[in-house]
Amino acid sequence: MSLRKNIALAVAFLVLGIQACLSEINRTSFPQGFVFGTASSAFQTWIHDWEWGEEMEGLSVKGFFGHCKIIDGSNADVAEDQYHRYPEDIQLMKDMGMDAYRFSIAWSRIFPNGTGLINQAGVDHYNNLINGLLANGIEPYVTLYHWDLPQALEDKYTGWLDPQIVNDFAVYAETCFQMFGDRVKHWITFNEPHTIAIQGYDVGLQAPGRCTILLHLFCKAGNSTTEPYIVAHNILRSHATVVDIYKNKYKAKQQGSIGISLDVIWYEPENNSTVDIEAAQRAQDFQLGWFIEPLIFGDYPSTMRSRVGSRLPKFTKSEATLVKGSFDFIGINHYTTFYARNNATNIIGVLLNDSLSDSGTTTLPFKNGLQPIGDRANSIWLYIVPQGMRSLMNYIRQKYGNPTIIITENGMDDPNNPLISIADALKDEKRIKFHHDYLSNLLVAIKEDGCNVKGYFVWSLLDNWEWSAGYTSRFGLYFVDYKNKLKRYPKDSVKWFKNFLSASAN
């Protein structure tokens, strides 16, 4: 037998061996009714019609910002064009056996100016998408806000920095309940409010790109020490207002549920010292605690109140009552784990003059600056640490009374390497192992530890435009050929999920 045939045979056996090792869990391992789905956002996957004139859609801050500060100089004007290709993409989900699809509604597609005149063409489009999903047995999970504020509201009153946003978001959300709530039974108010506040208003890497880092050399406007907290406060007030509207006016008739999706890195102390253990707790307070504690307890974590002081807005008594308990479920977007260590001097934070220094921690995916916490995916921040999933679920169970949790995002990316063939790009054994290992840890958290988790959404269905990373990053289960009319190709992970989801109890 030739050397080439020997190598090919060895590779084939290796792949079969990987598949065999990863076959011990499947859909039936999870509790009955556990939901499996894929996820996307409007801005990352859909054509944006202000460029194309197909319907009256207003510009969003992401549309404006999406032409700036992108690593490959790309933009999301066309993205994956799910706007036109949603029937095809629905079939991709159905063929895999997915139960649900999490997508976002673009606010500016419903209200081009943020308020006022409703865009009926936008309403019609979402009706068609929702009806198409349901006709194929796929449950829609709808996110109302995934980072794409109408530019008109940013221009009118600086968007999330102004209290007026609470009322305008409430009108938009209630319009969605009225238009789609007879069929949509799962609503998510906001995706990753922590990312909105920090990336948009502290470091300026996301829209609207505000910060005071290096005395406005990086951003033209902003205040990194105050604006993130103001934005987060207005988001929480908006969320609670919308949940109150839904529960009082629509929930009984429409029989749906509503929650919010929070981005959460799990933090491990870099060293087993008291100061690092306390630093890891502070890091968690300034990330997850910042948003979940108002929902559970009606106020911000005590560490934030003491360390941020007067820069942290306060809830009025009525606001605290409204915010507390304002959820049916909490979505968790979890990808990775970092080390946390105490930062006593905080010299860099003082020089940068930003809110990230308030926690008094340094968080990195390296131990002692050298040893990585796990294998890295493509993104510089995404290190693969499956056990972090179990640790995080148990932390939420123990600290916050075991609320209903849905994993609304989990996944990993490969590089968009132009030097390899499509056939090779479809061989994503690393992604298969990622999902197997994270799901295995989630399963233990549910079955052995008693964590109240009801669903798992893969990020993402398709390779998409990945914000500041542009098209350099591929998160999708399906490969999108950007050079050939956006054709979709199933990666090996599609086959794995299809087998995983098609399993039946013996």
Q: Which residues contact 130 (CB under 8 A, 6 or more apart)?
A: 140, 180, 183, 184
The single-letter code of the amino acid at 389 is M
Q: How many CA atoms lie within 13 A of 447 on its CB side?
A: 13
Q: Which residues contact 386 (CB under 8 A, 6 or more apart)?
A: 434, 437, 438, 440, 441
CA 210 – CA 228 distance, rounded (Å): 10
Of the candidates 465, 489, 483, the residue with the CA atom closest to the CA atom of residue 71: 465
Of the candidates 131, 361, 363, 142, the residue with the CA atom closest to the CA atom of residue 242: 142
Question: CB burial class (10 A; 0-12, 13-18, 19+) of residue 404?
Answer: middle
CA 500 – CA 178 distance, rounded (Å): 37
CA–centroid distance for 413 within its chain: 14
Q: Which residues are catalytic?
A: 192, 409
Q: Which residues contact 330 (CB under 8 A, 6 or more apart)?
A: 259, 260, 261, 262, 292, 295, 396, 403, 404, 405, 406
CA 260 – CA 331 distance, rounded (Å): 6
Q: How many CA atoms lie within 13 A of 66 on its CB side?
A: 25
Of the candidates 258, 259, 194, 261, the residue with the CA atom closest to the CA atom of residue 229: 194
CA–centroid distance for 84 within its chain: 23
Q: Rounded to the nearest 5°, which phi and psi values hold at 367?
A: -95, 130
Q: Which residues contact 141 (CB under 8 A, 6 or more apart)?
A: 37, 100, 101, 102, 103, 186, 187, 188, 408, 457
CA dist 4 → 17, 93, 400, 421, 449 (Å): 20, 37, 57, 19, 49
How many Cβ atoms from other residues are within 10 Å of residue 398's Cβ?
11
- Cβ–Cβ < 8 Å for 238, 165: yes
